[in-house]
Structure 1
Amino acid sequence: MSLTMDKSHHAKLRAPTEDGGILLWPESAHWGSLAEANRFAVTRKAARVLGFSWYELAARARQEMLAAARRWTGRYRSVEFSETGSAHGLPPIYMTGHQPELFHPGVWLKNAVLHGAAQAGSAIAIHMIVDSDVLKGLAVSVPSGAPEQPRMSYIPLDEGPCGWPYEERPVINREVFGTFDLAVSREIRGLVPDPLVGKFWPIVRESLDVSPRLAHAIAVARHRQEERWGWQTLEVPQSWLCRLPSFLVLAAHIWSEAPRFLALHNRAVDAYRRAHRLRSRSHPFPHLIETDGWIEVPFWTWSLDMPYRQRLFARHSGNCVEISDLAHWWGCIPDARLNDPEWLADWAADLEKNGRRIRGRAVVTTLWARCFLSDFFIHGLGGAKYDQVTDAIIRDFLGIDPPVYATATATVLLPVWRPAVDEADERAIRVQLRDLEFHPEKHISLGELPRDAQRLVEKLIEEKWRWINTAVTPENAADRYRRIREINRALQPFVENERQRLLQLLDETQQKLKVKQILAARDWAFCLYPEDQLMRFYASAIQDIAG
């Protein structure tokens, strides 16, 4: 059966082009009612996961997550959230999540509106630190130089290997990491004299006492910064959530039904590619594969002595479900224990003690967060687009309507001078240069030419128009084309001054565009911006959300 997807909604998801522009979809005025509808649906659906009703597993998952979030957050800031539940016995929970990076201010908007929406909806706000993703690079791009001639610099955060999951990567060179703020401030001072990094990085250094992991220290410091601004949220690493008994029940459910999950997953991926006319086999996700009876499942695994993510495979054999990376590790869960959360938790804890990690990949992470952990999830642009696949899997695998989610992003530019130019200016100049080549007669001022040159130009133009007005026939087509081209070339010396002016203007415009490309980028790290600019921007967004 073919699955189709409607991409009309996602066509509206575009990053704002103007400075200070915000995208919230659906409009934030509807978020409270959507969250209430999502929460009500939890109590109504008959879907089951290994013998647990959706409601039972969601209730347990939320209790476990709240306890974990309070433990994590309580390590470095006060936690003052009510335990009071809703009419359904579950506390209303709003969530978002992101990798623990120095992301741009548009990503940070998710946390700001999470706080504002939770305040408006009397909900608990939780940010999930997606620390099972890998550290792809150790250098942060920073604009430097003067506004008229900016350049790109790359400031290292640390030394050593990349490619490790965030949760495993410690700070290796504390001197490099500890002086990152000084190096950044030196580079950017010609553009932004007082970036947030000067106040923020001391908090990062202090946060190494909470966790020696590079990314965790950044995430903890960012959350502390949010506390200074009055944002009331909890945080919890994804790695902690993947150890919860409730999560392991869902994982075991997927492993035990690996062939069905593979088929539904790949069908959803194919539908997404058709809808968006994608040929790449890696977008939005690669297909899950089958090899020698082993079925790939959407989880990562690795070990402490080899902290590079490997794909996880599952198969049913005898009276147990086997899981393996097909290279270094194998495990087995008896069928009788698949729906036993406590046994699964003990089993996973033993794996953790021995350095073995099992973590959900993107599809599982968002499915888990949206369907079981929260009443309302706030995505960024990428997650919102890819969750078309997740929606299809939720419908087909869990047998429920996917909960509605929101999308939030923004464009915030550095407070620097930028040239008033855009790509349309370059295109206009190129059109004029092309017009000089093919219609030079339009640009020649006959009255400014010497008499002999004037007569020659008039003669050439007259002949050109005679050829243009001559009907094209098979017999004259080649001669007509050749002669018009020869006349255009003959007229070029008379427009050479204009050509040189336009070429100089084109060069100047291209240089300005290069300057603007640097200074008007929206993806600079949030710590490069002045604190007061960020505070004003987020305070306004929160006020609009909270009413």
Structure 2
Amino acid sequence: MRRTHAIPCGNGEALIEPPFDEWEGLVRRTAAAAAVWDVEVGGMPLSALRSDARADALRLAGETCRRLGIAFEVRDSSAPIVMTGHQPELFHPGVWSKHFAIQKFADQHEATPLDLVVDSDRCGRVSLRVPCVRERVRRHDVVLADGGDACYGCVPAPSPEAIERFANEALACAKTLPGDGPYERVQRFVGCLNDAVPRSRTIAEAVVVARRSYETPAVSRYGEVFVTDQAAASSFLRFAAHLVRDAQRFTTVFNDEVRAYRARRRVRSAAHPFPELSVAGGIAEVPLWVLVGGVRRRVAFEQATGSIHVEDHGVIEAGVDDVSVVRALEASGLRILPRAVALTMFERLCVADLFVHGVGGSRYEFITDRVIERWLGVAAPPYAVVSLTMRLPVGSASAIDERIAELRRTLHVAKHNPDKLLDMALADPGERARADAYVQEKRDLIARASEPGADKRAVGQAIRAVNARLEAAIRPFVAAVEEKIQRLECERGAHEALSDRECSFPLFDPLDVMDAVG
């Protein structure tokens, strides 16, 4: 079992696992294994389906990049494919770093780099995470679009009015940050977004085109493949048909592995890491979506009747073999989309020679590996993990933490041994003289407590009374220490907001991220 990967802690620290110089060996291993995969999927050997899927991916990347005006260096069709992917968000540099990693590998090994745009996921809010320093420092999410339950690929590109609102709010926040860099970079990204919208049909395309334009200084040339386009290709429909036709066995394998994962890690949540696929009355849920009115609906298959059941839509008569199911899916006119596990399996098995995950995406790949091995009887292709922590340059929080800890120790001493703080707490000679008298009285009481026959209870009460007088004498000092702690905690909160790892990529220089991954 692979170990769990941890997010890098240090600013500018990258995670590349396995090390970059091992990737070429992984690529070769996958290509050699895939060449002899003879298990039938979608009515043909998996190796043949893989050839078709790779051709579809390269064709779609070329068509999409030409239409959107994105630089893409098309290599020979036999070149290795190294791939990564994410939702079309204004994500943080940790996600962004994967794109530069696949470009670096492609440049060094004449491979084809592809970015999978997961525009099949629920859109929700697309927003820029940016700190804002006004009355106080806070994290702020500037919303570019809110697609609700619709998938990214069904949400139209933002209007000029929406971009203007986004720009005004984002720039107002960026202007409050230290230095000119964040403001100038956000301003440049807004310009890229304005240029992107006229050639973009959806929010997904607008974000991708703007990001690629923003990356221009780094000379990125990887292709873009949108899941909603890929899912309409014949190679994916064949894979989807096999999932549907073999739904009962796939569901059994998948649910077994999810339950085993939970048992090993003592997970109680029924939703973690994935909900189990439902099986009832001979109808088995399939890890696919069907778009109905732009909203994703669940799919299930009834083996006995060869019927595909679509949530809130109805039933499609499909048959019980892969070819019949493919024809039924094509004839239905419905848009079929993969859910998370089906998408990862398809890309790793049928397209990529090496798929590059982030830390989050890699967490559950042990389940995917086991499902591939048990369901299809082939060894799961290896994958890599890349991430990065990059923060705005606002200094270190460690000095603040150390100072707070020191002041808390001072409060502890003030409560239990206030006499040890008189040099710091009392500058007035009269107040110091009275406090010194209390200290002497305390010493005398301590000495008396050790005498034979001493009433220790009474002496203890007297010592506590002296401590109370000493504590009262240094109360203004204690109040000042508490005020300092409160002020430092506010400063630490401000620092955490300013140095939030989740800040969006338009706050950062693409060249810095590219350099961080090698």
TM-score for the superposition, normalised by structure 1? 0.83
Q: Which deviations, in whole Å up to 9, do the C-alpha atoms of 1:446-494 show, x marking residues without a partner?
A: 995535412332255558899xxx9xxxxx9x99999998887676435
Local SS of the residue matching 1:103: coil
Local SS of the residue matching 2:74: coil
Q: Which residue of structure 1 aligns with residue 151 of structure 2?
A: 165
Would you say the 8 A contact 1:138–1:162 is kept in 2?
Answer: no
Alpha-carbon distance, 1:383 to partner: 0.4
Q: Report the residue type matching 1:311 in the other structure.
A: R
2:29 to 17, 33, 37: 37
Q: Which deviations, in whole Å up to 9, do the C-alpha atoms of 1:159-184 show, x marking residues without a partner?
A: x6522110001146431224523432
Local SS of the residue matching 2:224: strand
Q: Which residue of structure 1 aligns with residue 249 of structure 2?
A: 260
Q: Distance in 2 between matches of 1:439 and 1:143?
A: 42
Q: Distance in 1 between matches of 2:237 and 2:458?
A: 79
Are 2:139 and 1:133 equivalent residues in the alignment?
no
Q: Report the residue type matching 1:109 in the other structure.
A: S
Q: Report the residue type matching 1:180 in the other structure.
A: F
Q: Which residue of structure 1 aligns with residue 504 of structure 2?
A: 525
Are 2:421 and 1:433 equivalent residues in the alignment?
no
Would you say the 8 A contact 1:300–1:310 is kept in 2?
Answer: yes
Alpha-carbon distance, 1:237 to partner: 0.3
Summarize the alignment of residues 499-518 of structure 1 with structure 2, pairs less than 5 Å apart: 499-518=478-497
Q: Distance in 2 between matches of 1:408 and 1:416?
A: 25
Which sits farther off after the overlay, 27-36 or 257-266? Answer: 257-266
Are 2:362 and 1:384 equivalent residues in the alignment?
yes
Q: Report the residue type matching 1:430 in the other structure.
A: R
* Alpha carbons of structure 1 residues 373 and 440: separation in structure 2 relative to 1, 3 Å: same
Local SS of the residue matching 1:132: coil
* Alpha carbons of structure 1 residues 229 and 482: separation in structure 2 relative to 1, 3 Å: same
Q: Report the residue type matching 1:369 in the other structure.
A: E
Q: Report the residue type matching 1:324 in the other structure.
A: H
Q: Which residue of structure 2 aligns with residue 77 of structure 1?
A: 70
Q: Which deviations, in whole Å up to 9, do the C-alpha atoms of 1:23-43 show, x marking residues without a partner?
A: 111111111111111111112
Q: Which deviations, in whole Å up to 9, do the C-alpha atoms of 1:9-57 show, x marking residues without a partner?
A: 21xx222222211111111111111111111111234433254322111
Q: Which residue of structure 1 aligns with residue 303 of structure 2?
A: 316
Q: Distance in 1 between matches of 2:418 and 2:278?
A: 61
Local SS of the residue matching 1:56: helix
1:105 to 86, 93, 101: 93
Alpha-carbon distance, 1:388 to partner: 1.8
Q: Which deviations, in whole Å up to 9, do the C-alpha atoms of 1:133-189 show, x marking residues without a partner?
A: 11222543322236x95334443314x652211000114643122452343222211
Q: Which residue of structure 2 aligns with residue 289 of structure 1?
A: 278
Q: Report the residue type matching 1:141 in the other structure.
A: R
* Alpha carbons of structure 1 residues 385 and 138: separation in structure 2 relative to 1, 3 Å: closer
Would you say the 8 A contact 1:195–1:527 is kept in 2?
Answer: no
Summarize the alignment of residues 244-255 of structure 1 with structure 2, pairs less than 5 Å apart: 244-255=233-244
Which sits farther off after the overlay, 15-24 or 425-434? Answer: 425-434
Which sits farther off after the overlay, 324-333 or 444-453? Answer: 444-453
Are 2:102 and 1:114 equivalent residues in the alignment?
yes
TM-score for the superposition, normalised by structure 2? 0.87
* Alpha carbons of structure 1 residues 465 and 138: separation in structure 2 relative to 1, 3 Å: farther
Summarize the alignment of residues 201-280 of structure 1 with structure 2, pairs less than 5 Å apart: 201-227=190-216, 229-280=218-269
Q: Which residue of structure 2 aligns with residue 339 of structure 1?
A: 323
Local SS of the residue matching 1:310: strand
Q: Distance in 2 between matches of 1:379 and 1:417?
A: 30
Q: Which residue of structure 2 aligns with residue 185 of structure 1?
A: 171
Q: Which deviations, in whole Å up to 9, do the C-alpha atoms of 1:93-128 show, x marking residues without a partner?
A: 100001001111121110001100112221111000
Q: Distance in 2 between matches of 1:232 and 1:256?
A: 39
Summarize the alignment of residues 351-390 of structure 1 with structure 2, pairs less than 5 Å apart: 351-352=332-333, 356-390=334-368
Would you say the 8 A contact 2:442–2:463 is kept in 1?
Answer: no
Q: Distance in 2 between matches of 1:484 and 1:281?
A: 58
Q: Distance in 1 between matches of 2:111 and 2:237?
A: 26
* Alpha carbons of structure 1 residues 440 and 172: separation in structure 2 relative to 1, 3 Å: same
Q: Distance in 2 between matches of 1:485 and 1:134?
A: 64
Local SS of the residue matching 2:363: helix
1:150 to 122, 137, 162: 137
Q: Distance in 2 between matches of 1:486 and 1:435?
A: 16
Q: Distance in 2 between matches of 1:460 and 1:511?
A: 42
Summarize the alignment of residues 434-449 of structure 1 with structure 2, pairs less than 5 Å apart: 434-438=412-416, 440=418, 443=421, 448-449=432-433
Would you say the 8 A contact 2:71–2:221 is kept in 1?
Answer: no
Q: Which residue of structure 2 aligns with residue 535 of structure 1?
A: 511
Local SS of the residue matching 1:157: strand
The Cα RMSD (Å) is 3.2
Would you say the 8 A contact 1:104–1:525 is kept in 2?
Answer: yes
* Alpha carbons of structure 1 residues 50 and 137: separation in structure 2 relative to 1, 3 Å: closer
Alpha-carbon distance, 1:444 to partner: 5.9
Local SS of the residue matching 1:298: strand
Q: Which residue of structure 2 aligns with residue 200 of structure 1?
A: 189
Q: Which deviations, in whole Å up to 9, do the C-alpha atoms of 1:389-409 show, x marking residues without a partner?
A: 211211211212211111111
Q: Report the residue type matching 1:83 in the other structure.
A: D
In structure 2, stretches of 5+ residues that fail to align are none
Q: Distance in 1 between matches of 2:88 and 2:220?
A: 18
Local SS of the residue matching 1:156: strand
Would you say the 8 A contact 1:144–1:152 is kept in 2?
Answer: yes
Q: Report the residue type matching 1:252 in the other structure.
A: A
Q: Which residue of structure 1 aligns with residue 49 of structure 2?
A: 57
Q: Report the residue type matching 1:181 in the other structure.
A: A
In structure 1, stretches of 5+ residues that fail to align are 1-5, 86-90, 471-475
Would you say the 8 A contact 1:421–1:512 is kept in 2?
Answer: no
Q: Distance in 2 between matches of 1:64 and 1:222?
A: 24
Local SS of the residue matching 1:208: helix
Are 2:20 and 1:28 equivalent residues in the alignment?
yes
- Amino-acid identity (%): 26
Q: Distance in 2 between matches of 1:439 and 1:294?
A: 73
Q: Report the residue type matching 1:309 in the other structure.
A: R
Q: Report the residue type matching 1:298 in the other structure.
A: P
* Alpha carbons of structure 1 residues 134 and 195: separation in structure 2 relative to 1, 3 Å: farther
Q: Distance in 1 between matches of 2:447 and 2:291?
A: 78
Q: Distance in 1 between matches of 2:173 and 2:26?
A: 45
Q: Which residue of structure 2 aligns with residue 473 of structure 1?
A: none
Are 2:160 and 1:174 equivalent residues in the alignment?
yes
Local SS of the residue matching 2:64: helix
* Alpha carbons of structure 1 residues 462 and 105: separation in structure 2 relative to 1, 3 Å: farther
Local SS of the residue matching 1:74: helix
Q: Which deviations, in whole Å up to 9, do the C-alpha atoms of 1:499-524 show, x marking residues without a partner?
A: 32431221122011111111111111
Which sits farther off after the overlay, 371-380 or 227-236? Answer: 227-236
